[in-house]
Amino acid sequence: MDVVTPLQAVLVTSTRAKDGLAAASDLRRVMARWAGVASLWWRCPTERRRAWAYVSACIALSIVNVALLLWISYVQNAMQTSLSEKQEDGFWVAVWDFVLIIAVAAPLFALTDYVDSCLTVAWRQWLTQHMIRVYFSDHAYFRLKIDPQAIDNPDQRICDDVRAYTATSVMLSVSIMRKVLNCVAFASLLWRLAPQLAIFLVIYAVAGTWVTGAGFGRRLMRLTYSVLQREADLRFALVRVRENAESIAFYAGDLRESELASARLARVIATIFGKVRWEAYLSLWQNVYSYSTILLPSLLLSKRYFAGEIRFGDISQASFAFRIIEGALSYIITHLSDISQLAAQTDRLDALLAALAANHSDAATAGDGVRRSDSKDGGVLVQDLTLTTPHGEQTLCKGLSLTLLPGQSLLVVGPSGCGKTSIMRAVAGLWSAGSGTIAAPPDMFFLPQRPYMPLGTLREQLTFPDSCATTMAATAAAAAAMDDGDDLAGGPVPVPSSGAGHKRGGDGGGDSDSGEDDDGGGRRTAATAAGGARRAANLRGGSYRRLSSGSSKQAADAGVGDGDGVGGTSSSSAAANPVLDAELRGLLDAVCLPSLLARVGGLDAELDWAHILSLGEQQRVSVARLLHHKPAVAFLDEATSALDTATERQLYGRLQQHCACFISIAHRKQLAAFHTHVLEAVGDGTWQLCDAAEFLSTLQE
Ligand SMILES: Nc1ncnc2c1ncn2[C@@H]1O[C@H](COP(=O)(O)OP(=O)(O)OP(=O)(O)O)[C@@H](O)[C@H]1O
């Protein structure tokens, strides 16, 4: 539907590369962007203290390091002078001073490296977590995908670029800070010993930096940016092969895919060679620059030494100070590769953050297009909906109005590409280009065309997108209900039908209905209570679809999880929940997968589900998910298209029993028999709503 072809991806990449190059070449802008990305951590209210504590420790250790260097230069002076003037006592004093320096320096340098590493890791952790949070808020990952111009390879930016950005930033900024301190500490010493050396050094370093920046800076930044981007493109091509292995094998597309990967590799290597060539030129220039000054201190001070104005040790101390200051002033020249690497990473992260921020503001101003609100009665109300594709190329529906009350169900039919899924996207809030109003309950559940099988156990496939906290809440509610004497082991149980006309005709499709114990007095079973508890937990997070992004917080609130603040389900905690497991086993029976448990090795089995289950089995697992969540409104987008008619009928029978209100999209028009209404595309963005019985009778004519 919205897949970017490899060719498109290459074209998009190359166009974007030019934009990126132009931006990356502007050093001042890169500096501003670097500061913008870096300051996120330092401005974060909960992290500010930790960030500044690390920075303070780095500054304190740097000052001690510089003091140590200064001390070394004086001891060296004393030792050289004692040797040249044959003063044995002075020599031994200097030796003991050196021993003391080594004793202090060894732990100090180790501590300095340790603090630098801690700063890097802490910063990386926060920035990656921040990126993940923003990436998963307001379906940003989805919006970035449907807009191929938005950004390339966000995953590589979040993982690799953040890691490299924080590591290089700490390395460069700590080094630059130490170099500045070195300059301050040694400048007066050099000025006192050899003022002409100090003046020469400043002029030499400024000229050298200018030549390096103008000759190599921009070019290296561009090449580094291209290398990062092309490497990400290569990895993306290989990941796509892994994800679509079976389809490619069926098409026998091995050659085509390997050609594409090889072509991308060739682009990476060509760019790397270009970079290597320019790094070699840079290295040549750096060597000429550094070695030209190697004799300078001795040459300039020799006259004064032979005249007896200064001692031998003064020459070596001046040389030491000269080298330290020269190293500091020529830092940009000698570290241009690292700086260009950092500039490219900064550019990529800044672009991702900008795209995510744009997505956030789009989401916030979504009220400009189709307006969405919570429905009061738990049904779905669409008023005067005009919907277009995200960039307005097609109008998919014009002035559509319909009302679906709890207890009613709708089948959407029409030719391929007429906009059936798009209407569902609009109800879900994924698309909002157009006008009109949609009111729907927050408690909705969508089964898309292609079932998503997350990483994890079979239990997690069935409860997705439940977070750990939600599962625990459901367990607590179910356990409380069990204390009241309810028995859940019999399988799925119904949601209370909240509207007139809700059908309850069971079909005995493979599971026991013993769990259905609506006792006529409206008393709910334990599992229904569990579903209610899940919904309550979900509603706290906004909706089902918003639940996963809030999972870490909810897990923290519930006092579960691994304590690192990073979300994630816990199969072990879910495994210790016999109530839930009994419900899930019943659900597998209900969706005609009774043998799956034995086949895969139980609910704790963790397999590559998308590959070991057939599409029809995946669709049945998705329907089990829906029955587990018991939403107020369910949406099924060709969610049973891979099933045989008998199984499909059984599943729809289950849906009628357990789901108060559902909307299906299908090409099999006979499914109208399981719905109360039919919405049919009649062409040119016009839709016609009719009674399902009426629709079926026209079919039979
Ligand atoms: N991200 C997108 N950007 C632009 N156009 C899109 C995008 N996604 C889908 N479309 C277009 O919108 C139209 C409606 O798509 P939609 O997926 O709603 O069709 P559908 O009726 O569900 O089709 P099918 O029955 O084949 O699944 C199609 O012409 C499709 O090409």
What are the structure tokens assigned to 472, written together?
Answer: 């625990």
Nearest CA to 580 out of 618, 543, 547, 629 is that of: 629
The string of DSSP letters for 426-471 reads HHHTS---EEEEEEE-S-EEEE-SS----SSBHHHHHHTT--HHHH
Mutation pick for ligand 1 pocket among 143, 393, 421, 641 (CB with most ligand atoms within 8 Å)? 421
Please indicate, yes or no, if residue 425 is contained in any of the structural domains: no
Task: Evaluate: CB of 148 within 6 angstroms of ligand 1.
Answer: no
ipTM, 2 dp: 0.97
In a domain, 692, yes or no: no
Residue type, 600: V
> Once rounded to an integer, what is the mean pLDDT over residues 132-142?
87
Q: Is 46 in the pocket of ligand 1 (CB under 6 A)?
A: no
Verify that 194 and 339 share a domain, yes or no. Answer: yes
Q: Is the CB of 415 under 6 A from ligand 1?
A: no
Average pLDDT over the chain, rounded to an integer: 79
Give the CATH number for residue 146.
1.20.1560.10
Any atom of ligand 1 within 6 Å of the Cβ of 394 = yes
DSSP 680: E
Q: Is 425 in the pocket of ligand 1 (CB under 6 A)?
A: no
Give the position, in ligand 1's atom list, of the atom nearest the Cα of 425: 18
pLDDT score for 211: 85
The residues facing 457 across adjacent strands are 606
Q: Residue 59 and residue 168: Cα distance in Å, rounded?
A: 17
DSSP 8-state secondary structure symbol assigned to residue 564: S
Q: How confident is the model at residue 481 (pLDDT cuts 50, 70, 90)?
A: low
| pLDDT category of residue 677 using cuts at 50, 70 and 90 | very high
> Which residues neighbour 353 within 8 Å (Cβ) at sequence distance 6 or greater?
37, 131, 134
Closest of 380, 420, 445 to residue 638, by C-alpha: 420
547 or 619, higher pLDDT: 619
Render pLDDT for 43-81 as a digit per residue (tens, 0 to 9): 889 888 999 999 999 999 999 998 998 898 889 888 888
Task: Report the nearest-CA residue for atom 7 of ligand 1.
Answer: 2
Q: Which of 232-241, 464-473, 489-498 has the lowest mean pLDDT?
A: 489-498
Q: How far is the CA of 1 from the centre of ligand 1 (A)?
A: 6
Say yes or no: CB of residue 396 within 6 Å of ligand 1: yes
In a domain, residue 409? The reply is no
Asked whether residue 568 is domain-assigned, the answer is: yes
Residue 72, CB half-sphere, CA atoms under 13 Å: how many?
Answer: 19
| Residues forming a β-bridge with 445 | 634
Indicate if ligand 1 lies below 6 Å from the C-beta of 388: no
CB-ligand 1 contact for 451 (6 Å cutoff): no
CA of 412 to the centre of ligand 1 (A): 14
Ligand 1 neighbour 422 (Cβ under 6 A): yes
Range of the domain at 195: 6-357
CA of 533 to the centre of ligand 1 (A): 36
The pLDDT confidence band at residue 647, using thresholds 50, 70 and 90, is very high
Ligand 1 in reach of 146 Cβ (< 6 A): yes
**Does residue 295 lie in a domain region?**
yes
Closest residue CA from atom 26 of ligand 1: 416
Cβ(418) – ligand 1 distance below 6 Å: yes
Collapsing DSSP to helix, strand or coil, 130 comes out as: helix
In the listed set 338, 357, 376, which residue is the last one of a domain according to the structure? 357
Nearest CA to ligand 1 atom 4: 389
| Residue 449 Cα: closest atom of ligand 1 | 27
pLDDT band at 546; cut points 50, 70, 90:
very low
How many Cα atoms sit within 13 Å of 342 on the Cβ side?
24
Q: Among residues 294, 327, 357, which one ends one of the domains?
A: 357
Same domain, 34 and 180: yes
pTM of the model: 0.64
Whose C-alpha lies nearest to ligand 1, atom 16?
Answer: 419
**Minimal-distance CA residue to ligand 1 atom 2:** 2
| Same domain flag for 145 and 19 | yes
513 is written with which tokens?
A: 């209905």
- Measured in Å, residue 275 CA sits from the centre of ligand 1 at 42
How far apart are the C-alpha atoms of 87 and 89, rounded to whole Å? 6
Give 7-50 pLDDT, tens digit per residue.
Answer: 233 223 333 444 444 444 566 787 888 999 999 998 889 888 99
- Sign of the alpha-carbon torsion through 117, 118, 121, 126: negative
Averaged pLDDT for residues 657-673 = 91
1 lines ligand 1 (CB under 6 A): yes
Determine if ligand 1 sits within 6 Å of the CB of residue 421. Answer: yes
How sure is the predictor about 145, in pLDDT bands with cuts at 50, 70 and 90?
confident
Beta strands 686-691; 677-683: pairing state: antiparallel
> How many domains are contained in the chain?
2
DSSP state string for 478-543 = HHHHHHTT---TT---PPPP-STT--------SS--TT----SS-PPPHHHHHHHHHHHHHHHHSS
- Report d(CA 492, CA 508) in Å as an integer: 12
CA of 2 from ligand 1 middle (Å) equals 8
Residue 423 lies in a domain: no
Q: State residue 478's pLDDT score.
A: 53
Output the residue whose Cα is nearest ligand 1's atom 17.
Answer: 421
Here the tokens at position 419 are 């906009």
* Residue 438, pLDDT score: 94
Q: What is the mean pLDDT of residues 411-435?
A: 90
pLDDT at 596 (0 to 100): 93
**625 CA → ligand 1 middle, Å:** 25
Are both 651 and 524 inside the same structural domain? yes
- Find the mean pLDDT for residues 173-183: 88
pLDDT, average across residues 411-424? 93
* 149-160 mean pLDDT: 83
Instruction: Supply the pLDDT for residue 541.
Output: 32
- Tell me the C-alpha distance between 57 and 54, whole Å: 5
pLDDT of residue 362: 63
Mutate to test the pocket of ligand 1, among 388, 389, 687 (most ligand atoms within 8 A of CB): 389
For residue 147, give the ligand 1 atom closest to its CA: 1
pLDDT tens digits, one per residue of 187-220:
888 888 788 888 888 888 888 888 888 888 878 8
* Of 1, 144, 684, best ligand 1 pocket probe by most atoms within 8 Å of the beta carbon: 1
CA of 648 to the centre of ligand 1 (A): 25
CA distance linking residue 611 with residue 607, whole number of Å = 9
Residue nearest to atom 6 of ligand 1 (CA): 389
Average pLDDT over residues 315-343: 83
492 and 350 within one domain: no
Task: Give the three-state DSSP class for 333.
Answer: helix
Q: Is the pLDDT of residue 540 over 70?
A: no
Closest atom of ligand 1 relative to the 667 alpha carbon:
25
Residue 320 pLDDT exceeds 90: no
- Co-location of 334 and 462 in the same domain: no
Q: What angle do CA 417, 381, 416 make, to 5 degrees?
A: 10
Determine the number of helices (DSSP H) and then strands (DSSP E) in the chain.
28, 10
**Whether the Cβ atoms of residue 370 and residue 436 lie closer than 8 Å to each other:** yes
Q: What's the 95 CA to ligand 1 centre distance in angstroms?
A: 80
For ligand 1, the distance from its centroid to the CA atom of residue 360, given in whole angstroms, is 23
End-of-domain residue from the set 328, 357, 386: 357
Judge whether 498 lies within some domain.
yes
Q: Look at phi and psi of residue 252 and say left if phi exceeds 0, alpha if psi is from -120 to 50, else beta.
A: left
Length of the chain as a residue count:
701
Cα(423) to centroid of ligand 1, in Å? 10
In a domain, 389, yes or no: no
Best of 396, 412, 422 for a ligand 1 pocket test (most atoms within 8 Å of beta carbon): 422
Interaxial angle between packed helices 218-243 and 27-43, expressed in degrees from 0 to 180 and rounded to the nearest 10? 60
Give percent above pLDDT 90 in the chain.
Answer: 36
